[in-house]
Amino acid sequence: MRHGSEYDEIVKEIIPIYIDYDIKSFPLDLERICRLLGVALIPYSECGPEAKDLLLKKTKKGFFVRGTHESAPAIYYNDYMVSVGEMRYTIAHEIKHYVYDECADDTDNDDLADYFARFFLCPIPYLIVKGIHSQDDIKSHCNVSLTAASNAASNIRERMRWRGYTILDFEIPLLEHLAPKEFELYKSEHFDSVAGRWLK
C-alpha cells in the first residue's frame, strides 16, 4: 500500500513537464512530447517480423530502454493494440520510466508508473476546474480508454468527497498554465479570501 504523499510526489514531477515544454492542449500529443523529451518512440510495426515476434514475447504492450552513448532512450510500443487509448496509456506509463530513469525490467514501481500515466493524460485538478467530470467527457477530451476515463471520474468523485473544492498549493502552477481563466473563476466561487481557505 502506497502512502498518499508518494502520489503527490509523482504529480510534482509531472507539473514541470507541462510547464517547461509548454504543453497546453488536449488530448496530449505524445509523439511531440517524446520528441521534446529526447525519447525515440518506436512502434512494433517499424520492426521486422522476427523482431516484432521477439518484442511481443517480451511484452504485449511496450517498454522503455535507457539511452547509451550510441543511441537515444527509446519507448517501444505495440501499435497493434485494439484500443488507441490503451496504446496512449502504455506510452505515458513508459514516459514515467524515462523521467525516473528506471530499468525496463524493474516492475517494483509499475503501480506508480500507472498513476503517472493516469494523471499525465487526465490531470485531475485541471478536469475539476474545467468541469470535465463524467467518464464520457473525460474519454473524449483526453483520448483515453474507457477504463482510464472511468478511473479518472472515480478519482474526481473521491477527491471532491474528501477534499471538497480544495486546490493544493503545488497544483496551482499547473492550473495557471493550463486553464488560467477557468481557474480564476473557480477561485472566485470556491475560495474564501477573507478566511484564506477553500470551501468544502
Residues 95 and 133 occupy one common structural domain: no
| pLDDT value at residue 108 | 65
Q: Is the same domain home to 179 and 116?
A: no
Instruction: State whether 188 and 109 are in the same domain.
Output: no
| Domain end position, chosen among 121, 155, 181 | 121
- Would you say residue 16 lies in a domain? no
Same domain, 107 and 188: no
Same domain? For 96 and 33 the reply is yes
- Verify that 114 and 150 share a domain, yes or no: no
Same domain, 152 and 138: yes
From CA 23, how far away is CA 91, in angstroms rounded? Answer: 16
Q: Domain for residue 102, yes or no?
A: yes
- Residue 137 placed within a domain: yes
- Residue 50 pLDDT: 83
Residues of the chain falling short of pLDDT 70: 1-3, 82, 104-108
| Whole-number pLDDT of residue 58 | 82
Whether residue 148 contacts residue 122, with contact meaning beta carbons closer than 8 Å, is answered with: yes
* Same-domain status, 176 and 134: yes
What distance in Å separates the CA atoms of residue 113 and residue 61, rounded to the nearest whole number?
14
Same domain, 73 and 168: no
In angstroms, how far apart are the furthest CA atoms of the chain?
67
**Domain range for 198:** 122-200
What's residue 60's pLDDT? 87
Shared domain check, 61 and 45: yes
Q: With respect to residue 18, please indicate whether it lies within any of the assigned structural domains.
A: no
Residue 19 in any domain: the answer is no
DSSP 143: T
pLDDT at 86: 93
Domain identity same for 91 and 152:
no
| DSSP helix/strand/coil, 20 | helix
Tell me, what's the pLDDT at 1?
A: 56
User: Number of folded domains in the chain?
Assistant: 2
Per-residue model confidence (pLDDT) at position 171: 98
Q: Is 17 contained in some domain?
A: no
Query: Phi, psi (5° rounding) for residue 191?
Result: -120, 125
Residue 42, classed as helix, strand or coil, is strand
Q: What is this structure's pTM?
A: 0.92
Same domain, 86 and 1: yes
